[in-house]
Amino acid sequence: MQHHANMTAPGAAPIALRPQAPLLPGRTLGVLGGGQLGRMFVHTAQAMGYGTVVLDPDPDSPAGQVSHHHIQAGYDDPQGLAELARLADAVTTEFENVPAAALATLAARRPVAPAANAVALAQDRAQEKAHFVRCGVRCAPYAVIASAEQLAAAPAELLPGILKTLRLGYDGKGQRRVTTAAELSAAWHSLGQQPCVLEQWLALALECSVIVARGADGSIVHLPVQRNLHRDAILAVTEVYAGNLPQALVEQALQAAISIANGLQYVGLLCVEFFVLQDGSLVVNEIAPRPHNSGHYSQNACDLSQFELQLRTLAGLPLTAPRQHSPAVMLNLLGELWFAQGAVAQTPPWAEVLALPGTHLHLYGKGQARPGRKMGHLNVTGPSPQAARATALKAAALLGIAPF
């Protein structure tokens, strides 16, 4: 499905220095951030004939290991950013907590997607929620708590709720579940009295997400809506196939994600995460201005992966609608799988897992496994949803992942 819109959002920053012509293979693409999402982007860019350059302070970063160039510098290091702008013809980011100011600095010299204003918005839960409201997309009832006065004035109907730090919260970090005003006060103090949002606790039936890619010309394509299972606030399983969610809900999620992207005049790849409530209604949770765990299945189940869509938006290449050719289940591979046999890390039984038909292993090049650390993912494809699920459950049993 392809959409085209050139709506200008009020207050949206102009996109600086978009290329007049596409950047074709042979040019060099840059990435701020050296994690696994950057690594998979670099692999995709190299497969298509692009040069790559990664800026990341870690000398052994997953993306830096495989890139043509690795600039070992902090994200706000002026010399590092100048070198990135010198080597790269366009720059993207692979995680949302990169300083927005660094993207703005780069955008003065090179095309940058996503733009600094979109990344800054995703870094601030209050700004993000205000944007959802402007776009007419429902989110959980909330209040900003940045002072003792706002704490005292927090509406009682938001309890029980979840207190989340305004910035730097992901995978459940910086969050506290609260049921009373006293618990709310204690939680705010335990988070260092930093600015937070209090969200009403909602009874969830399930979670889902949509990945959209929007070009500088306003064209938008999207991957199918992904059904997600989280455990301990970290994505564990994504299932994508026809009928994984009711069709009306799929349409609603797609329209909401497109509205959010258009409202930002977004250029790049954007993931929009949703809650499905027990009454069947949909509320938006948050956005990620980058590739997302829940889109990894696209590497093996679609004719265009989320990383190729990210590349096409950055390089100004045409956006064609991706097509899913196989039902898929993605299993997130966390560090605890290496400790399934005891206190000493052991390699999981990859040979047995890969003996199952339709299994595709992606490991991130991280030398040390730690519980909770994202070490890789397993994509499982099959001729039918039932076959993909059955194989994924067999793989989960081999790996020590709880059934789903």
Decide: 327 and 243 in contact? Cβ < 8 Å: no
Residue 31, beta-bridge partner list: 54, 92
- Give me the residue label for tokens 């910086």: 174
Say if residue 222 carries a ligand binding annotation.
no
The helix (H) or strand (E) run that includes residue 397 is: helix 385-399
d(C-alpha 240, C-alpha 209), whole Å? 10
Q: How many CB atoms lie within 10 A of CB 317?
A: 17
- Of 210, 220, 202, the closest CA to residue 5 belongs to 220
Residue 213, beta-bridge partner list: 221, 269
Say if residue 38 carries a ligand binding annotation.
no
d(C-alpha 149, C-alpha 146), whole Å? 8
Token representation of residue 345: 């890390």
d(C-alpha 310, C-alpha 41), whole Å? 8
d(C-alpha 227, C-alpha 253), whole Å? 11
d(C-alpha 266, C-alpha 253), whole Å? 17
Burial 197-236 (b: 16+ CB within 10 A, else e): bbbbebeeebbbbbbbbbbbebbbbbbbbbbbebeeeebb
- Give me the residue label for tokens 């705010």: 188
d(C-alpha 347, C-alpha 363), whole Å? 12
Say if residue 230 carries a ligand binding annotation.
yes
Say if residue 170 carries a ligand binding annotation.
yes
Q: How many CB atoms lie within 10 A of CB 196?
A: 30
Residue 30, beta-bridge partner list: 53, 91
Say if residue 175 carries a ligand binding annotation.
yes
Say if residue 352 carries a ligand binding annotation.
no
Say if residue 172 carries a ligand binding annotation.
yes
Say if residue 201 carries a ligand binding annotation.
yes
Say if residue 51 carries a ligand binding annotation.
no
Say if residue 96 carries a ligand binding annotation.
no
d(C-alpha 107, C-alpha 54), whole Å? 16
Token representation of residue 293: 């765990």
Say if residue 125 carries a ligand binding annotation.
yes
Residue 235, beta-bridge partner list: 230
Q: Is the dihedral of CA 108, 110, 115, 119 positive or negative?
A: negative
Say if residue 296 carries a ligand binding annotation.
no
d(C-alpha 159, C-alpha 26), whole Å? 55
Annotated binding residues for ATP, written as ranges, equal: 125, 164, 169-175, 199-202, 207, 230, 285-286
Annotated binding residues, written as ranges, equal: 125, 164, 169-175, 199-202, 207, 230, 285-286
